[in-house]
Amino acid sequence: MSLFRTKDIDAMLAQRHVAALKKVLGPVDLVLMGIGAIIGTGIFVLTGTGALTAGPALTVSFVIAALACGFAALCYAEFASAIPV
């Protein structure tokens, strides 16, 4: 095993075009994946802490958090649309 071993660029480019994956995710799928990544499991884990702090206004707290997550999702969507794939 050599530390200075290199790969042939032409062979890598030829292999990349042969094994190209088909794009099957649509815009709705990508938006839902982004929302899932932003919210994560925190909605399930932090409900008890939120209920202790906010009390009966927990629903309002979740609506405000959803609004903030929506703005973050729009930022990610704008960034993703600026980069061609």
- By CB neighbour count within 10 A (0-12 exposed, 13-18 middle, 19+ buried), where does 54 fall? middle
Contact 51, 58 (CB under 8 A): yes
Region of poorest pLDDT, from 18-22, 28-32, 70-74, 78-82: 18-22
Spans of all domains in the chain: 25-82
pTM of the model: 0.47
pLDDT tens digit sequence for 12-64: 777 766 656 677 888 899 888 888 887 777 777 778 888 888 888 988 988 99
